[in-house]
Structure 1
Amino acid sequence: MNPVFDKTGSLHKTLAYEILSGFYPAGSKLPSERDLSEKYRISRNTVRLTLEELEAAGAIRRRPRSGAVVTADAPAILRAAPAAQAELSAALILPPDQISNPVVQAIFTVFCKYCSEKVRISVVFIDQLASEDFRSLRADMAILFAVPEAAVRRRLAQRIGRLVLLNATAGDCDYIAPDNRLAGRLIAEHLLECGHRSIGGVTFDDRDPGSDFRQRLDGCAEVFDAAGAALHLTRISALKFSDARFRRKLVEPMVKAGHSALIGGCDAIAAELCAAVFAAGKRVPADVSIAGFDDQFYTQFMLPALTTVKYPAEAIGIHLAAVTDELLAGRDGHIRKLVPPILVKRASILNLPHRTEGEEE
């Protein structure tokens, strides 16, 4: 059961759900203000206000130096809290090939966990939008994943009240997206720390300046340019990259050119780069270091385990649930938020020997 709480905000939603699910049963202590602040990356003041509101509702009891304790009446109080709006319809709109994307699954698992039971969720594929059945599509909110085309967004905006883009940024709608430019900077800074100065990058050809692929490699380029290092970027079509012979022909000149590291625009590209390096008779990371983006589930099991940047799917799902809370409460719910990603250091990047100034590489 999804709890409905009269105060909005992701921390409210999280604590209410955990109390109702029995994770924090009656009589148990909640984490300290500091621990909650660090866990959810929010300010101590926000935590304090949330706890004050829970206490005012009778869901917790606070004592100096003893912390917050869940009351016996907390489950009944949280279940009985009214919502300002009876129902909200939300349509998830995405290309058909994205339905199996682990990132999409992770975001919506968290979203469904924390959103109100009064949110009605439907899934609509982009291809269906042109059909007769879906031309009359109406929803209070459209959640877009991998829908970069501005023309599609404009058509949707004519019949849907609120558009929220999840995996990229755009000037014409709200978004909750990973800070992809920061993700690129994190990878680039780590490579520089490990002594890499000549790097190759491979990503899918994407002309949208707000796309995740574009911003990740732009972030890398900013750091390398500032450090006087070289990033040699290759943009390719997804169709060409699916050809193993093409991948090998792509990687071989990069290795021969002396690139000590290769960056894939996502983990899938990075994994294929690893395979192509091995097929070329080279080793990762002894001959070529590899890095990716997203921290897909398989990256920790690769040989070697892939250095990557974790996609903040859980945080995005929680923020998305908070937007629906705002709309249910009758507020505008507008949001334009970049969620910071986390660098995951593993074995696929080699720490090169330190070179003194002027020494040849």
Structure 2
Amino acid sequence: AYEYSWKRQNWFENSAAEHRAVRENVGMYDMASFGKIRVEGRDAEAFLNYVCGADMSVSVGKIVYTQFLNKRGGIEADVTVSRLSEAVYLVVTPAITRLADQTWLRRHLGDFNVVITDVTAGEAVLAGMGPNARALLQKVSPNDFSNAVNPFGTLQQIEIGMAQARVHRVSYVGELGWEVYISSEMAAHVFEALHEAGADMGLKLCGMHMMDSCRIEKGFRHFGHDITCEDHVLEAGLGFAVKVDKPAFIGRDAVLKKKETGLNARLLQFKLVDAEPLLYHNEPVLRDGEIVGYLSSGAYGHTLGAAVGLGYVPCKGESMAEVLASSYEIDVAGVLV
């Protein structure tokens, strides 16, 4: 049972071991809770290009990281979109935002000839992540998982054990890995096949605390904490995922305007110099002795050896170099670190 504390909880070392497994070997965890929204029809490409900030005119088998933006350039959703065929895409969302993301799609459907279907219950997802993730998959599948055949940001259909599956080479933990999508009725079999194959490799079963600590070390944003509908996509540091040179999409004018007028804030990553304190979120951020903001999220970076946090800092009229030249402290329960 969990024993909660502002200091190291009774699960701290367990999570640290899972974190190390993903960074140094291979770990597996359940992501079946992902929301899965199928978008299909003759206008699927045009519709998603209108709703998404990124370019959806990609080849079949490509996975695109993107955001749904509002007219202010705020982030309504943070998703991946996979092109399954010429007329079919799969939008993968965080579990808790599936209904909101599907509602956003339906709200902007207009005259596009598209069918939107929630297929979440139809597929389970097992994530295998870590430097030895490729070796694990090769033990249970005859398919080729090399960079040449299955580079980052692509998917392929495979055999695994006695099942058919689809593997997406993407990662929220910042390591080599695949998300394995299998029909729900074959999920237990595929889990058993992977678990058995990984026994002599030191495969470790992992949980969500591991995912949170790994993602924050890499500076990956968490929707609902680091990015929301009130946070501009450029100030969140996600401009690389927005393609303003494609046809008009929701939020394009706000992105172009922000590029012209400059940022009012930047999302920064902070690592404490003291290895002992923990960070959660909402801790005040001090710049040159003055409170300028707060942490939007925090977790312990077991590889980095200290707690890590993300938070917005005002920067109107300043260059990135000027922002980084300042001295920063985090107020942890009244102690400046």
Question: Do the structures match in fold with TM over 0.5?
Answer: no
Alignment TM-score, normalising by the size of structure 2: 0.23
- Greater Cα radius of gyration, structure 1 or 2: 1
Structure with the higher fraction of residues in helix conformation: 1
Structure with the higher fraction of residues in strand conformation: 2
Alignment TM-score, normalising by the size of structure 1: 0.22
